[in-house]
A and B are shown apart, each in its own frame.
Chain A
Amino acid sequence: MDVHVQHALTASLVLPRADLRFLTLLADAGPLTAARLAEAGEVNQSYAVVRLAWLERAGLVVRTQVATRPGALLVRPGWMISPDINLGLERLADQFSMTAEPMVAR
């Protein structure tokens, strides 16, 4: 099986529902604040902050600046999908021992 597929499958298996929701929101709607993610993900903000920090360490999301409204100069701290998300998925897969036993080549 393609190694990228393994990584994505592993990540989807080990990530909690809220994390998957955050990734979907960030991928669909672009950079968002933790408050907006918490609201859309229907979790409290402190939980969202903890999970976003975890996802940052996993290399799946990165910090960025988010305009308070489209075109506004005022910005707030926010989050976006990491440009190196596939590297993060690879690390996550390694962390969960994806290489425990190789698949038999056919």
Chain B
Amino acid sequence: MTAAAVPVDEFAHVETEKEIHRDILRRSALTPSERLVLASLALLDRGQGTLRAIRLIAGMDRGVAQKWIKNLTRLGFVDLRQIPCPVTGGGVMSIYQINYQPSQEPPQWAAGTLLSGHELGWVLSTETSYADAILESHDPWEGK
């Protein structure tokens, strides 16, 4: 593979990620721990990962992470999928993924938890500035 093979669409995910973040932020009725688990999933590739990955990034003990992810799965914020284990070749591996469907409005039961206009405006304006910052300077540590 040559240098030209570097993905040219490496920022293509930004729009989708923003949508995911807005959706998570809207669901402010969730506990801080539940939101931290969702945020940790958002940090992983395609918003999905194993319990181990969530635990490492959220800085939670296994039992605690398991409890919150189970809650989120029951509430429908997270989907559980089982895939053939790529390491051993046998058995299955559990993968958790943010249950995000851009075409859907937040569920009715979440309607009372939407951010106020001011808060949503803040979120959107700061997100735009992040995207600008990425495009202007990919490396914020450059030259420091």
Where the two chains meet, the residues of A that have a C-beta atom closer than 8 Å to any C-beta of B are: 1-2, 4-18, 20-21, 23-24, 27-29, 43-44, 46-47, 54, 57-58, 81, 85-86, 89, 92, 95-98, 100-101, 103-104, 106
Q: A95–B140 contact, CB under 8 A?
A: yes
Beyond A9-B21, A95-B140, is A27–B129 a contact (Cβ under 8 Å)? no
Mostly, the B contact residues are helix
- A28, A46, A47: the one within 8 Å of B49 (CB): A28
Q: A24–B45 contact, CB under 8 A?
A: yes
Q: A103–B119 contact, CB under 8 A?
A: yes
Q: A13–B56 contact, CB under 8 A?
A: no
Q: Which of B3-11, B71-79, B100-108 lies at the interface with chain A?
A: B3-11
Contact partners of A86 in chain B: CB under 8 A: 59
Q: B57–A13 contact, CB under 8 A?
A: no
Beyond A20-B45, A58-B141, is A97–B36 a contact (Cβ under 8 Å)? no
- A6, A24, A54: the one within 8 Å of B141 (CB): A54
Where the two chains meet, the residues of B that have a C-beta atom closer than 8 Å to any C-beta of A are: 1-3, 5-7, 9-14, 17-18, 21, 24-25, 28, 32, 35-36, 38-40, 42-46, 48-50, 52-53, 56-59, 87, 116, 118-119, 122, 126-127, 129-131, 133-134, 138-141
Q: A10–B35 contact, CB under 8 A?
A: no
Mostly, the A contact residues are helix
* B101 → A minimal CB distance (Å): 18
Q: B126–A100 contact, CB under 8 A?
A: yes
Beyond A8-B40, A103-B122, is A96–B32 a contact (Cβ under 8 Å)? no
Q: A43–B5 contact, CB under 8 A?
A: yes
Contact partners of B139 in chain A: CB under 8 A: 54
User: Can you give 26 contacting A-B residue pairs, CB < 8 Å?
Assistant: A1-B35, A2-B32, A4-B59, A6-B39, A8-B42, A9-B24, A9-B42, A9-B43, A11-B43, A12-B39, A13-B14, A16-B138, A17-B12, A18-B7, A20-B44, A20-B45, A23-B44, A23-B45, A24-B44, A27-B57, A28-B53, A46-B3, A47-B3, A85-B57, A96-B130, A97-B129
